[in-house]
Amino acid sequence: MSETVITMARPNDRQREFLECRKKYIAFGGARGGGKSWAVRQKARLLALRYPGIRMLLLRRTYQELENNHLRFLRQELHGAAEYRATARQFLFQNGSVLDFGYCTCDADLDRYQGAEYDVIFIDEATQLREEWLRQFAACLRGVNEFPKRIYYTCNPGGPGHGYIKRLFIDRRYVAGERGEDYAFIPARVTDNVALLRAQPDYLEQLKALPDKLRAAWLEGRWDVFEGQFFPEFTDAPEHYADRRWTHVIEPFDIPRSWRVYRSYDFGYAKPFSCAWWAVDYDGVIYRILELYGCTDTPDEGVRWTPERQFAKIREIEDTHPWLRGRDIQGVADPAIWDTSRGESIYETALRYRIYFTKGDNRRIPGWMQMHYRLGFDDEGYPMMYVFRTCRAFLRTVPALLFSGSEVEDLDTHQEDHAADECRYFCMSRPIAPRRELPAAELGDDPLNMRAGNR
C-alpha cells in the first residue's frame, strides 16, 4: 500500500481526542466549523486499515449530503487503497474492509437496514435525524468478531435529534440499558479548526454576525438555545436556581397551604399520557411541581395503561403526596376525554376515582401563545412560569420541540408533545395578557434578548 494512502494531515487537539477515544458512543461537535466531517473520514480510514475485514457504515440525512461532504473527498483520499462501487455505495478496501454509505430522509429509508450488521457506525450531523431512527441504527451495531463496536456521532445543536443527543452527551441522563461510562462528548468549535480559519479567515466573523440564538448555537455550541426551537424563551440556568432570575427551572420547595394546586391531563395509551400538578402563588405565577408521565424507555411510546390504571395512580398520588394530600384539586383536560362514542368516556372513568376535570380550551395557537407569555422574562428576569427540576418529562421534551414545517405558528406534531399539550390546557385556563416588549435600549447587555417585558 502506498505511503500517500496512509498519510493523513495533522489533526487539531479536539480532532485528535476524537480519533483516539475508545468509548462505545462518541459525540463530536457542538458548534459549526470544528472539522467534524474531516475527522469522521480519517477515523473510518484508520479503522479500515487497522482491522482487515471490518464492516462500517457512514450515514447522513440525504445522499446529496454524503456526496458533498464525504464521497467526493474519499474518492481521492482512498485512491489506490479502496475501490468505490457506486451501485452498492461502498468502498471495498484491499484488505477486505468495507465502508458503506447510507442516508435516512424518511421512515421508509430504514427498510434498507433491516437485519444489517456493522462493527462501526458513523452518523454525521446526527441531530438532523429523528430519535427513533438513531435508535434503530444503533440496533445494527452487532457482530460476532473481535472488531471494536462503536458509534461516532457528529452534531450541532438543533434538529429533530437534538433532545436525544443532548440527553445522552450533554445532560448525561440515562435510562435502563444505557451506561454512562460508555458515552463521551468531545466539544469542537471553529476556533479549534486553525486550518479552516487560515483558509477562510472571514468565517469566524460570519458566525459572529448571526442572529443571537443562531450565534449562541453555531458559534458557542450552546445546547439550550438553537434555531427552530419552538420555545426559545425557555432557559435552564442552574446558576440562577436559587434566586429564580433568568431561569425557568428551580429546585423543589414545600408548597404553602394557602396556594391553590391544580391538575392538567392529556390522555394517551399507545402514546404517553401526561398528568401534571401546578401551584399558583399570590401573583398568579404558576409552578409545575409534580408530574406523572406514562412513557416507556423508548421516547414517545406509551406504557399502555388503561384509563382505570392511570386514574388509580393519580388518586394514589393525590391521597399520599405531602404537597397534594388533603387539597381540593381541580383539573383541566383535553375535551376529547368526554367522548362517549365507544361507551363510557375517559372522563366518566375519572369520576369513579373522584378525579374532576373541566374541558380545556384546546385551540393550539392561542394555547402556545399563552405558554410564550408565561415563559417570557420581565425586565428583572422573572417569568410567570417555573418548572421544578424533578419534572423530567417536561424538561426532556418541551425545550426540544421544533416549529412545524407546514403550519405557521404551530409546532411539529410528529414530536413528543404530550407534556406541552397539557401545559397548554392549563395555561389557557388561566390566561394572561401579553407583556409589552422592551425597547432595544432597555435590553442592555442581555446576551440573548430574553427579556420579554414587564410583569
3-state secondary structure labels for all residues of 214-274: HHHHHCCCCCCCCCCECCCCCCCCHHHCCCCCCCCEECCCCCCCCCEEEEEEECCCCCCCE
Whether residue 413 is predicted with pLDDT greater than 80 in this model: the reply is: yes
Task: Express each pLDDT in 6-46 by its tens digit.
Answer: 456 788 888 999 999 999 999 998 766 668 889 999 999 99
pTM: predicted TM-score of the whole model, two decimal places: 0.64
Local confidence band at 436 (pLDDT 50, 70, 90 cut-offs): low
Please state, in angstroms and as integers, the Cα–Cα distance from residue 17 to each residue in 69, 155, 231, 434, 448, following that order.
21, 16, 34, 48, 31
The 10s digit of each residue's pLDDT in 311-338 is: 999 999 999 999 999 999 999 999 999 9
Q: Could you give the C-alpha distances from 408 to 356, 365, 375, in angstroms and in order?
A: 34, 9, 20
Residue with cell 480519533: 19
pLDDT of residue 32: 67
Got the DSSP string for 163-184? HHHIIIIIS----TT--GGGEE
CATH ID of 238-443, from 2.40.30.30, 3.30.70.870, 3.30.420.280, 3.30.360.10: 3.30.420.280
Measured at the alpha carbon of residue 126, what is the angle toward residues 20 and 45, in degrees to the nearest 5?
Answer: 40
Let me know: does 21 contact 97? Beta carbons within 8 Å. no
pLDDT in tens, 176-212: 889 999 999 998 877 777 667 777 777 777 777 766 6
Q: Where in the chain is the domain with CATH 3.30.420.280?
A: 238-443
Task: State yes or no: pLDDT of 454 exceeds 50.
Answer: no
DSSP-derived pairing of the beta strands 274-280 and 286-293: antiparallel
Q: What does DSSP say about strands 98-103 and 90-93: parallel, antiparallel, or unpaired? A: antiparallel
Exposure b/e, 252-273, CB count within 10 A at least 16 = b: eeebeeebebbbbbbbbeebbb
CA-CA distance, 377 to 452, in Å (whole number)? 5
Does domain 3-218 fall into CATH 3.40.50.2000? Answer: no
Phi, psi of 143 (to 5 degrees): 155, 145
Give the per-residue pLDDT at 272: 97
Q: Where in the chain is the domain with CATH 3.40.50.300?
A: 3-218
Q: How much of the chain exceeds pLDDT 90, in percent?
A: 59
Sign of CA dihedral 120, 126, 129, 135: positive
